[in-house]
Structure 1
Amino acid sequence: MATDLLTKAAAIAVGAATAAYVDKKLYLSHDLMKYWGHSLALVQTRYLIARNTRVADLWEELVDAMPSKVLVMFEGKKYTAVQLEIQANRVAHWAMSVGLTPGSIVALLMENRPEFLATWIGLSKVGVVAALINTHVAEEGLLHCLRVSDASVIIFGAECTAQVEHVLDRLPPRITRLAVYHEGTPVHFNRLYTTCLHASDGTQVPPPLAFARSLNEDVKQVSSHRPLLSQRKSILCTDMMLLIFTSGTTGLPKAARIEHQSLISRSMVFVRCAQITRFDRFYCSLPLYHTAGGVVAVGIMLLSGCSISLARKFSTTHFWSDVRATEATIVQYIGEMCRYLLHAPPSDLDRANVFYGATEGVGGMLNVCRERKDRGHLGQYGYLATAISGMTIVEYDVDADELLRVGELLIKVGASSPLHKFQGYFKDDAASAKKLLANAFTKASNGGDLYFRTGDLFRMDTDRSFYFMDRIGDTFRWNGENVATSEVAEALSAFPGISGLRFSQPVRRLTALVLVVDICVYGVALPGRDGRAGMAAMVFKDLDMEAFAKFCTSKLP
């Protein structure tokens, strides 16, 4: 009897030891814990998609459930769900009054503020797409975004008036109306009588473009009641609701399509994995024209009912004071911000959730930090998690611009999964196709496969933790932004004194290098700073440094 008990105890011990060894090697318990949240998010996302849930539907359900809930805090003021709903409804009715219909596109150019949220939510109520423009772009960069977006209306904040004024006489022909969030009288442009370059008869600027009407005043003239559901009955959750501009590995910014289901699926993962509830307060100082702020932060609010403490822009000085003043329980950040904030004293109450993703991507990484070993990387993925996520690292040859085995992060595209669907770039099939890699590991004869190319170099250590290393191609990353060297080179090439400029192909793609006969733009690492700073080597006949500095300030964000 004693021998049998000892045998059973030994067998149990051996089994437990074997299970622990296998778990340590394969990270099964880690993956199961991680993917419980992901699985729950996927189930809920599929349910919402099956109901054809659009973002405006989520918003209106939230307002009906918690009408007096403070959803946004901004510069000492609080905005309830009903207050934002009234503004959004007015924007929706205004949009219809100026002839916008489902599928129309409006360019939105303004700094973070409650009106930003109310505007694109209001537009989505009637199926109008908002193209979110980076407030730092100007001149040719701004014109490019306006052309690519196919926008017919520009809504901008008064703080961006100068940027719009500088391109007023070069606006695309489609744009027929300007509206500004500006208290009081409309913003009259100095160049009121400038001839519009696209006016075929050479007449002066058409009246709608001669000045921007105050949207604050115009929306007061329309109804504050909720538009009928029939206004968006033709809109599907797979339709585009936003355009967000992202710098790719080459060229000018590309407009990434964001569908209703994309906002829902991305945000749901954060809500479930980070266990965000309506009792949380989410501090967002990231720009709402980018995905992290404009899609993820807003989506988390819509799905969880949490409040957003919104900052106009990131400030090291005011960050922690804002967090404390609004009693935020969650803060959102991107890489370089952490270096600025590390000077603040640590707290046992801090909890960080690190993530990696791309605006146009088909997946991402989420690292919920619970222990010290969870810090410093973008997530730990065992064999099970890797198989489910479809992520793999393949070698990237920087000389030949080819994939080999280890280096670039690829994510498997799953057309049937809302979490792994590639939405592509707006009206740019060539750029969309370039981001996809077919038959990478499975031959077409065996069914094939399809992967999304992130354009990012990663490494994985022996603990299967992922680390971001660098960008691929002619870009460098600075202050959380991807900067295309070709954009910088093109802008600088217009400065008087650079002659005989002829572009040539890059001979080597280390540190995002673009070679030109008289100008070379590349990224350089700086001590104590993340990413790379832009540097340009140029040949001048004569150089007026003061004039060149002013030129760079006006042309480059």
Structure 2
Amino acid sequence: MGLITAVTLFAIAVIIGHRALPGVKSWWADFNYRYRVTNDLQLVIPMGLQALRHVYQTLISHRFNQFYDIEKTCLSSKYGNKIALNYIQLKQGKKYQVDGDDAFRIDRYTYHQMYDIVLRLSFILKNEYGVKKGDTVTIYFMNKPLFIFIWLALWNLGAIPAFLNYNLKHNPLVHSVKLVNSACLLVDSNDCEEQFMETRDEILAAIPDLKIFYLNDQVLVPKLEDNSSPKYREQDSVRDSGVKAHHPALLVYTSGTTGMPKSAVNSWRKLFFAAYLFTVPMQITEKCNIFTAMPLYHGTASILGVVPAFESRGTLSLGHKFSVSSYWAQVRLTHSNTIQYVGEVCRYLVDAPKSEDERRWYGKVDLAYGNGLRMDIWTKLKKRFGIKAVGEFYASSESPFATTCREVNGNGVGAIRNNGYLADRFLTKAMYTLVRMQKDDDNMIYRNAQGLCEEPAANEKGEMITKILNPRRIETTFPGYVNNNEATYSKVIRNVFHKGDAWVRSDDLMKRDEIGNVYFVDRLGDTYRWKSENVSTTEVENEILALDDIEYCVVVGCKVKDHEGRCGYIVLQTKRDNQETEEEKKELLDKLADRVFQHLPHFARPCFVRFDQIEMTSSHKISKKRFRNPVLPAGPNGNQEIYYLDTKGKQYKPLNAELFEQIIKQEIRI
């Protein structure tokens, strides 16, 4: 009996049994829920085809630049006239609450139009700005089509885009530009120039030869849309020369525990995974119209938003910035059927008053995907807005892989991974897994008597680690950080499950349940997440220690009820050992507030402060252990004097139980 005949007979038997025997139906539902057989069947063929595609690219074509695939789509007769990009923004002087739909302007670009614009912009970048293959070009832009056009034009020229966080200024911004040896810096003159000018002289003092160009999209985009403007397409031999799969496709910045942002290399291999492997379990196809208002300088919006949208030949609908009050209006007006989130955004949407727009678009979103969605918000989001599926992923700026969880029927609510049984076993061995931690220290990985690590038991916390496919050449899997070998190699651990293997630490605690679903627990070490951004405690501490009155300080992440992530919490010891009078402390707190507002982005400004004695270890280091997990509003014994950051008044004020209750209810924003 042939294999096909056997499979056919088995399928017939299952169908007959399923209809004839109620017990079979119940058994199958329970078995499939536990082992997710249908998930495996949906993944095996398309994932296998994409794996073969990557082998062909790596061994035969050697064309890693994704410009080629996007170009092919743009020039095809089938997709050339399809809308590739919608951009929705408020018209100047208009408010949605007053003007309704007329408040918005929507710019639409087909794939072919986008391609022509990219070639015209490539001509300008090459001939007027001097950009050439191998250059790193830093981009200080808000969300808008010109951001994406610049990105693709740089790929056309064989240059490397570096996406700067437009909230940065002063030391972090200077450091970020200098770190990547930027050939030139492109500034959004419409939305970012005013803030950038606060740091411009500092940048030029540090990098005197840096070329800075200010791009006004209202002037430049009409020029790029002019059919008479010249185009330039780089020669393939130039673009491809010397390029390997592990070389950088683009750079994004992540918080660094050394005190300043680090620039994470996102390789062509990682971009391939985002384009062709990530889309399979998430079921992102050409039918998807993905709305995102997340900042494009984040890998969430760029690598896992723009790239999957274009490479699956779908549509990207781009919001200028996130707005709770008009969110569903923007989704409706762009006809989006897929939305992208970070967890905090979902909480805002669920907590917002009900609107006519959400009623009109109820049930029309097939997938909401992103990262950081809390379990208690998850089902509320689906139910309230009629969303059919939630796609939660776990990734980091530097990580070579991402986990995926596409939840439809309740299996995987709150998880970052809920693959089928076979996929789960394969990915655990080939890409990422958890390792057991020391019982008395969650920051230390446990090693047994043989010096090897172990996987944790079900529901036991463990750190997520990512496998390095070639331990002898770490950079082929984990390119790490630009010009920072110390930070790169500090994340690599060896001899994990057997002698000679190598893995990358994530600095994040997870747990796996009895059926294999993986859940995020907490961050480790000197980084915490607030307002959907990673915050370096060292970076914040360095800014605070610039004040002459401060001897020592400790910054930790603090949990606040009904708030996503952890906010900043400072412990201060002054040079007078905290012996200042109340008036002197107030003056010091005012100086502190001025400092954090001038030198730190909004998400890194500590929300709470207290004065305390900070002890040193025998090796003259500060031990943060006793300061972690602070208790609000007055410490574990109710006798600590704590101050909160009044963002409206831009000053630190004494905290009490009544004010803290208002913070919990978000009547006071922190």
* TM-score, structure 2 as length reference: 0.68
Q: 1:494 to 1:217 in 2, by over 3 A?
A: farther
Correspondence 1:67 to 2:64: no
Number of the residue aligned with 1:387 = 425
CA distance in 1 between counterparts of 2:229 and 2:208 reads: 25
For residue 359 of structure 1, report the CA deviation from its aligned partner: 1.7
Number of the residue aligned with 1:224 = 231
Where 1:373 maps in the other structure, the secondary structure is coil
Number of the residue aligned with 2:171 = 140
Q: Which runs of 5+ in 1 are unaligned?
A: 1-8, 186-213, 502-516
Q: 1:20 to 1:308 in 2, by over 3 A?
A: closer
Number of the residue aligned with 1:402 = 444
For residue 133 of structure 1, report the CA deviation from its aligned partner: 0.5
Correspondence 1:492 to 2:544: yes
Number of the residue aligned with 1:55 = 66
Of 211, 215, 219, 1:177 maps to: 211
Number of the residue aligned with 1:277 = 285
Q: Partner letter of residue 295 of structure 1?
A: I
Q: 1:116 to 1:175 in 2, by over 3 A?
A: farther
Q: Partner letter of residue 54 of structure 2?
A: T
Number of residues of Structure 1 aligned to a counterpart in Structure 2: 494
% identical equivalent positions = 25
Greater alpha carbon shift after TM alignment, 324-333 vs 266-275? 266-275
Residue pair 1:250, 1:473 contacting (<8 A) in 2 also: no
Where 2:389 maps in the other structure, the secondary structure is coil
1:312-327 equivalent positions in 2, closer than 5 A: 312-327=320-335
* Cα-to-partner distance string for 1:193-213 (whole Å, 9 max, x where unaligned): xxxxxxxxxxxxxxxxxxxxx
Of 503, 509, 529, 1:451 maps to: 503
Greater alpha carbon shift after TM alignment, 378-387 vs 283-292? 378-387
Where 2:415 maps in the other structure, the secondary structure is coil
CA distance in 1 between counterparts of 2:225 and 2:37 reads: 54
Greater alpha carbon shift after TM alignment, 420-429 vs 70-79? 420-429
Of 87, 90, 115, 2:146 maps to: 115
Of 259, 268, 276, 2:267 maps to: 259
Residue pair 2:289, 2:317 contacting (<8 A) in 1 also: yes
For residue 421 of structure 1, report the CA deviation from its aligned partner: 2.4
* Cα-to-partner distance string for 1:25-84 (whole Å, 9 max, x where unaligned): 982726623642543432333334442331211221121013322111112221222332
Residue pair 2:142, 2:320 contacting (<8 A) in 1 also: yes
CA distance in 2 between counterparts of 1:454 and 1:421 reads: 14
Number of the residue aligned with 2:469 = 414
Where 1:42 maps in the other structure, the secondary structure is helix
CA distance in 1 between counterparts of 2:261 and 2:222 reads: 30
Where 2:287 maps in the other structure, the secondary structure is coil
Of 189, 194, 198, 1:166 maps to: 198
Residue pair 2:121, 2:153 contacting (<8 A) in 1 also: yes
Greater alpha carbon shift after TM alignment, 23-32 vs 168-177? 23-32
Q: 1:464 to 1:149 in 2, by over 3 A?
A: same
Q: 1:103 to 1:150 in 2, by over 3 A?
A: same
Higher relative contact order (CA 8 A, sep 6+): 1
Number of the residue aligned with 1:33 = 41
Number of the residue aligned with 1:474 = 526
Number of the residue aligned with 2:372 = none
Of 437, 441, 448, 2:497 maps to: 441
For residue 94 of structure 1, report the CA deviation from its aligned partner: 2.3
Residue pair 2:310, 2:316 contacting (<8 A) in 1 also: no
Residue pair 2:404, 2:419 contacting (<8 A) in 1 also: no
Residue pair 2:544, 2:592 contacting (<8 A) in 1 also: no
CA distance in 2 between counterparts of 1:22 and 1:145 reads: 52
Q: 1:408 to 1:94 in 2, by over 3 A?
A: same
Residue pair 2:288, 2:309 contacting (<8 A) in 1 also: no
Q: Partner letter of residue 444 of structure 2?
A: E
* Cα-to-partner distance string for 1:122-177 (whole Å, 9 max, x where unaligned): 01111111111111111101011011111021001122213332222232336431
For residue 330 of structure 1, report the CA deviation from its aligned partner: 1.0
* TM-score, structure 1 as length reference: 0.81
Of 594, 597, 604, 1:553 maps to: 597
CA distance in 1 between counterparts of 2:30 and 2:316 reads: 43
Number of the residue aligned with 1:429 = 485
Number of the residue aligned with 1:522 = 556
Number of the residue aligned with 2:156 = 125
Residue pair 1:180, 1:215 contacting (<8 A) in 2 also: no
Residue pair 2:259, 2:542 contacting (<8 A) in 1 also: no
Residue pair 1:184, 1:217 contacting (<8 A) in 2 also: no
CA distance in 2 between counterparts of 1:302 and 1:308 reads: 7
RMSD: 3.3
Q: Which runs of 5+ in 2 are unaligned?
A: 1-12, 89-105, 355-382, 447-453, 457-461, 575-579, 602-670
Q: Partner letter of residue 445 of structure 2?
A: L
Q: Partner letter of residue 242 of structure 1?
A: L
Residue pair 1:91, 1:123 contacting (<8 A) in 2 also: no
Q: 1:318 to 1:28 in 2, by over 3 A?
A: closer
For residue 119 of structure 1, report the CA deviation from its aligned partner: 0.1
Q: 1:294 to 1:348 in 2, by over 3 A?
A: closer
CA distance in 2 between counterparts of 1:232 and 1:429 reads: 27
Number of the residue aligned with 1:337 = 345
Residue pair 2:86, 2:334 contacting (<8 A) in 1 also: yes
